[in-house]
Structure 1
């Protein structure tokens, strides 16, 4: 495929993560998307894609299924376990029904088989962006809320409080399931899977309470934590 300008037009400042180990294909897709006004970050393997996906907000992620270091399905699972909500288009060299089902069951929003036409890729990215913008951009926390776009917390009086990536991820997980009590072990595996001790959850609950309000996270004695209020 030669780099061409995609039809239809991407929205300026839309951010896309492209995780693709084929250098030629990655350059073609990235060049075309940038020509439409998207901000594109590139990753050559799953580990780099995981790092970018956890540290930067994206509208859409394009993930190759067959990646070095970390397979595309595993990458998607890890991102979703950390409450990353970007829409995902999985790119794959094979197009069997079973493979498509596996990709969609893993959490991908769409599935595109290689080789593909850039015009079709463009249309699918636009569709995923529309779906992302149609979704909720905030999660209520009592009289305040968690801003999913700016990735900060807003108090009842309108004050915005900056959160670290891990603080935001932990609070987002709690806010997305406000009536669920999560054990410390469950929260550690979903937010801090590299940590060996569940006590790291206590540390970040302390940080959130100190920054926001002591009631933002409720302790359920003997069970774990659940969302409180602002």
Structure 2
């Protein structure tokens, strides 16, 4: 669930525009983090969870398309709004194909930017209510359950927390320490993660969770 103050990452190398947008977005109720190039933007986006990203296409070090492509390859699913001075159809198509959800051409009206961000967050929240776990299976986040077709597969609170973490970042390999901090008490031993994975596989099938030897676990194909 999102906090009362949604966190936004603004990746923009124009300092004047960054200062202006930072103030306006803060007034709108966002907690705003700022990065001045694509490499720092990538680091921020991989290190923290954001409600939405605003990314300039023409960034130094790593451009906006490269940033979005890398984020999607790492399993980061938060919505991205690209800002650009390029308004040609091919440029918009490239941005959307790279994994951005929306595209706004400079110069733009601030009211339109804010409205688009609200729409992106609404759509993302609606889509995140269910996370895919295979062809017919879904993790129903709102009701904390797994649906296999019309059938419900009951999970314990810990099993749900582990599966929610894995399904939310489908290309990420989670270490035992990461899953331990997500779903267990700090006093629990790392072996409790393995036991939870074992119980999940008994309920969902061995292919539901993959072991990446020497690293940890990631979601499987069911």
Q: Give the alignment's TM-score, normalised by structure 1.
A: 0.65
What is aligned with 1:158?
A: 157
CA shift at 1:79, angstroms? 0.7
What is aligned with 2:197?
A: 213
Range 211-220 or range 109-118, more displaced: 211-220
User: Which of 45, 59, 62 is matched with 1:53 structurally?
Assistant: 45
Higher helix fraction (1 or 2): 2
* 1:26 matches 2:22: no
Distance in structure 2 (CA, Å) of the matches to 1:144 and 1:105: 25
Distance in structure 1 (CA, Å) of the matches to 2:66 and 2:25: 25
Structure 1 pair 124/207, CA: closer, same or farther in 2 (3 Å)? farther
What is aligned with 2:76?
A: 84
* 1:109 matches 2:109: no
Superposed CA offset, 1:169-215 (max 9, x none): x65455xxxxxxxxxxxxxxx547xxxxxxx9999999895273225
Distance in structure 1 (CA, Å) of the matches to 2:97 and 2:131: 25
Structure 1 pair 226/32, CA: closer, same or farther in 2 (3 Å)? closer
Structure 1 pair 228/207, CA: closer, same or farther in 2 (3 Å)? farther
Quick check: 1:14–1:59 contact (8 Å CA) kept in 2? yes
* 1:227 matches 2:211: no
Structure 1 SS opposite 2:198: coil
* 1:93 matches 2:120: no
Quick check: 2:35–2:41 contact (8 Å CA) kept in 1? yes
What is aligned with 1:183?
A: none
Structure 1 pair 97/112, CA: closer, same or farther in 2 (3 Å)? same
Distance in structure 2 (CA, Å) of the matches to 1:51 and 1:69: 13
Q: How many residues align?
A: 184
Instruction: State the Cα RMSD in Å.
Output: 3.9
What is aligned with 1:7?
A: none
Superposed CA offset, 1:18-47 (max 9, x none): 100111101111110100111111111111
Structure 2 SS opposite 1:212: helix
CA shift at 1:227, angstroms? 2.9
Distance in structure 1 (CA, Å) of the matches to 2:195 and 2:11: 34
Structure 1 SS opposite 2:60: coil
Distance in structure 2 (CA, Å) of the matches to 1:25 and 1:203: 40
Distance in structure 2 (CA, Å) of the matches to 1:14 and 1:171: 21
Distance in structure 1 (CA, Å) of the matches to 2:199 and 2:108: 51
User: Which of 5, 14, 17 is matched with 1:13 structurally?
Assistant: 5
Superposed CA offset, 1:122-180 (max 9, x none): 111111111112222453769995969xxxxxx922237877xxx94x65455xxxxxx
Structure 2 unaligned residues grouped into runs of 5+: 143-153, 180-189, 213-217
Quick check: 2:95–2:103 contact (8 Å CA) kept in 1? yes
Quick check: 1:63–1:72 contact (8 Å CA) kept in 2? yes
